[in-house]
Amino acid sequence: MAINVDTVYKTVLLILNQQQRGYMTPDEFNRVGTQVQLNIFEKYADDLNQQYRMPQNDTEYANRVKNIEENLQFFQRLGTTTGTNPFTLVPATTTYTLSNGDPEVVTDTIYRIGTVYSAGVQLSQYSQRSEITQLLLSPLTQPTTNFPVYLYENNLVYVYPTAIQTGITFSYLKTPVNVVWNYAAGGLGQFLYVANGSRNFELNITEQTNVVTRILAYAGIIINDPTIIQVASQQIQAEEQNSKT
């Protein structure tokens, strides 16, 4: 379940106004919200790598590796390729439900490729350019159609042996789309929420508190209030420390 953009914005405004700390405009919120979402998304890979190196429990809801992977599942996709070897990556499209319930189809932006498949079979080895050269020099190590290898370079997938010309697909993580709190001007010049055109956060609902806290930290910078920055930063550090120990 995605995080509702209107709920987050109103929560941020409530906290700022309650403490008489200033105001964040919708345009500022959209830019900050998009950056916060990207920051949280980019931390998942580092957090997952760290958790794989630590002892895990097998409880149903407190397995940290499982929880991070559950957060990442919103961004996992399977793409196709076009052209002949080397292949051009073709990302899939994602249909988003806007805040008013209408669908919006957006072509994904590839953030990181995962596994490459040839005719549905996983290519077992990713190789660097120098490794490919060495592999091709020896008859004993040359890749075959049963054991192909690939090189990912300049957004192209080179598959060896080059006799493979079709059937290449790949898994990938897509980049989160920009957050949008759409609005119209009211009769008194106030900003009124417009569900049509608004786009929610793609993050798991469990990240809502984290999102609000991080937006408040940026809000402190925007309105030049060091108290907000300090309190929000301390809360973020405490949550990160708790999630890693």
Please state which of the ranges 17-26, 52-61, 68-77, 190-199 shows the lowest mean pLDDT. 52-61
Range of the domain at 84: 2-244
pLDDT in tens, 40-73: 999 988 888 777 777 766 777 777 888 888 889 9
Q: What is the pLDDT of residue 236?
A: 55
Q: What is the pLDDT of residue 15?
A: 86
DSSP state of 180: B
pTM: 0.80
3-class secondary structure, 3: strand
Q: What is the pLDDT of residue 96?
A: 81
Cis peptide before 139 (omega within 30 of 0): no
Percent of the chain at pLDDT exceeding 90:
43
Tell me: pLDDT of 76 over 80: yes
> What's the number of domains the chain is made of?
1
Percent of the chain at pLDDT exceeding 70:
85
Burial class of residue 166, CB neighbours in 10 A (0-12, 13-18, 19+):
exposed
User: Would you place residue 19 in the very low, low, confident or very high pLDDT band (cuts 50, 70, 90)?
Assistant: low
Q: What is the pLDDT of residue 107?
A: 94
Q: Are 217 and 227 in contact (CB under 8 A)?
A: no
127-to-20, 37, 49, 83, 173 alpha-carbon distances in Å: 57, 32, 21, 21, 20
Tell me: pLDDT of 227 over 70: no
